[in-house]
A = this chain, B = another copy of it.
Amino acid sequence: MFKKLCLIGVGLIGGSIAKAARKHAIVETVVAYGEEEHLANLQLAVDLGVIDNYTSDIAQALDGADLVIIATPVGAIHHIAELLLPHWNPECIYSDVGSTKSNVVDAIHAVFGYVPVNFIPAHPIAGAERSGVSAAREDLFSGRRLIITPLINSDPLAISQLSRFWQSLGSSVSTMSVDHHDMVLAATSHLPHVLAFALVAMLGRKDEQKEIFKYAAGGFKDFSRIASSDPTMWQDICLANKQHILPLIQQLKSEITSIEDLITHNQATELFETFTYARNARQRYLDQLED
């Protein structure tokens, strides 16, 4: 389907794209671009059989590519856009995998002065608390959602080719606006990550004196799992999507404060109602998962 996939960034997501695309024979060759400090990682990716080759020469990396996917942390997007600009090929499809979409589109716009019709922003809703190319899995996207956030001028053919690419990797492809994406993901992914980091950081400081983790039950393991996520990635996401994350943090703090008030004033019935409401909301979420 594609002759040459050029990957910019070969961590968990980039590596898993390469593995899955090669397994399903959707690409002939996978070449990665990386700067000097990433070459050891790219050599590891070759050694693991994840990619075919790599180079620190961007012209060489892009030469002949008909699909370019940016899979770096989202904070690097402006710099990557500057690298791509002089070599832009209207025959190639460009995409990314960023967990935030406004900042990606803004960065492309800032560098190009417009968003090229063949740059199609995308986000695979998949991940794991492990990171790096050695954690890459060919089935990472299987049965997961992939959201494409096209712009008004995006090339319909490029959108459909990119959709087919991800469907071939096992993903279920949805389309929504950039802003809606960033609002939804702030609520169901970015906010929970902030919360998990906050909780585990706070308890970690206590634990250094008191060994409280020793008696944590299985629930804590699940609850804290996302606090093991990649710090660089999440630093970038928090800053890139702050306009959606900050209001949600405010709302969550209000919710916590109202539970705190109910506990303080022994309002058992109202606590029961809040917890029941939450339990029912989660059940709606589980019911949707099964659809």
Write the residues of chain A forming the contact surface with B, with a CB cutoff of 8 angstroms: 75, 125-127, 129, 144-145, 147, 174, 183-185, 187-189, 191-207, 210, 212-229, 231-232, 234-236, 238-239, 242, 245-246, 249-253, 255-257, 259-260, 263-264, 266, 268, 271-272, 274-286, 288-289
A185 CB contacts on chain B under 8 angstroms: 215
A225 CB contacts on chain B under 8 angstroms: 219, 222-223
Report the nearest B residue to A245, measured CB to CB.
Answer: B263
A228 x B279 contact (CB < 8 A): yes
Instruction: Give bound CA distance, A242 to B185, whole Å.
Output: 33
A192 CB contacts on chain B under 8 angstroms: 199, 219-220, 223-224
Instruction: Give bound CA distance, A266 to B200, whole Å.
Output: 22
Instruction: Give the contacting residue for A272; candidates B219, B235, B259, B274; CB below 8 A.
Output: B235
A251 CB contacts on chain B under 8 angstroms: 202
A285 x B231 contact (CB < 8 A): no
Instruction: Give the contacting residue for A219; candidates B127, B217, B220, B271; CB below 8 A.
Output: B127
A256 CB contacts on chain B under 8 angstroms: 194-195, 198, 249, 252-253
Known contacts A192-B199, A215-B147; A263 and B283 CB within 8 A of each other = no
Report the nearest B residue to A273, measured CB to CB.
Answer: B231
Nearest 4 interchain pairs by C-beta: A204-B281, A231-B275, A188-B216, A213-B285
A212 CB contacts on chain B under 8 angstroms: 183-184, 187-188
A215 x B235 contact (CB < 8 A): no
A206 CB contacts on chain B under 8 angstroms: 187
A246 x B264 contact (CB < 8 A): yes
Known contacts A231-B275, A271-B235; A144 and B283 CB within 8 A of each other = no
B228 x A184 contact (CB < 8 A): no
Instruction: Give bound CA distance, A200 to B275, whole Å.
Output: 9
Report the nearest B residue to A204, measured CB to CB.
Answer: B281
Instruction: Give the contacting residue for A289; candidates B207, B221, B222, B257; CB below 8 A.
Output: B221
**Distance from A182 Cβ to chain B, minimum over Cβ atoms (Å):** 11
B188 x A215 contact (CB < 8 A): yes
B145 x A215 contact (CB < 8 A): yes
Further contacts, 6 of them, CB under 8 A, given A192-B223, A221-B286, A249-B260: A125-B215, A145-B215, A191-B199, A198-B259, A204-B281, A229-B275
**Distance from A121 Cβ to chain B, minimum over Cβ atoms (Å):** 15
A213 x B188 contact (CB < 8 A): yes
**Distance from A278 Cβ to chain B, minimum over Cβ atoms (Å):** 4
A220 x B272 contact (CB < 8 A): no
A278 x B201 contact (CB < 8 A): yes
Known contacts A202-B252, A226-B223, A284-B204; A217 and B197 CB within 8 A of each other = no
